[in-house]
């Protein structure tokens, strides 16, 4: 007679739930996330390192992270002066937007004048103006 992986007690045939290659007691087959502890049904959950997780907790704990994988959109807000190593990156970005030719200079470290605040979202630069720009 097999033992339950969670409580280590024998699992009788009438109370057996088979999942992840083990026989479990029904109340012992629950999500490993301490905040959840949801009772799981055989075959309708995910597993990591032999431990069961509900699909929601598994996705939140071990799923993809970062921009483009659900959740709140992440973006970077830039404001102020550009100096040092970011100078060439800023100038080449500005040149590509305006069509002006740009030659990088590694010797110049003088600060640029304050730049107009802008936001980068979805690889597009949004510059605040009198017009409202909305992207869907």
Residue 107 domain flag: no
Q: What total number of domains does the chain contain?
A: 1
What pTM did the predictor assign? 0.47
Q: Which residue range(s) make up the domain with 55? A: 13-62
Determine how β-strand 16-19 pairs with β-strand 22-25: antiparallel
Alpha carbon of residue 13 to chain centroid: 42
Residue 40 domain flag: yes
Q: What is the pLDDT of residue 77?
A: 46
Residue 49: CATH number of its domain: 2.10.110.10
pLDDT > 70 fraction of the chain, expressed in percent and rounded: 47
Residue 93: C-alpha distances to residues 89, 118, 124, 134 (Å)? 6, 12, 11, 22
pLDDT in tens, 69-90: 554 444 454 555 545 555 556 5
């Amino acid at each position: 007679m097999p033992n339950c992986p969670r409580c280590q007690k024998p699992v009788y045939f009438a109370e057996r739930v088979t999942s992840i290659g083990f026989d479990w007691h029904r109340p012992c087959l629950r999500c490993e996330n301490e905040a959840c502890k949801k009772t799981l049904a055989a075959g309708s959950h995910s597993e990591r390192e032999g431990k069961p997780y509900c699909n929601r907790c598994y996705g939140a704990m071990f799923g993809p992270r970062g921009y483009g994988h659900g959740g709140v959109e992440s973006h970077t807000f830039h404001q102020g002066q550009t100096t040092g190593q970011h100078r060439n990156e800023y100038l080449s970005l500005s040149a590509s937007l305006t069509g002006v030719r740009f030659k990088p200079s590694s010797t110049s470290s003088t600060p640029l004048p304050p730049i107009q605040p802008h936001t980068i979202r979805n690889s597009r630069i949004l510059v605040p103006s009198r017009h409202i720009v909305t992207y869907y």
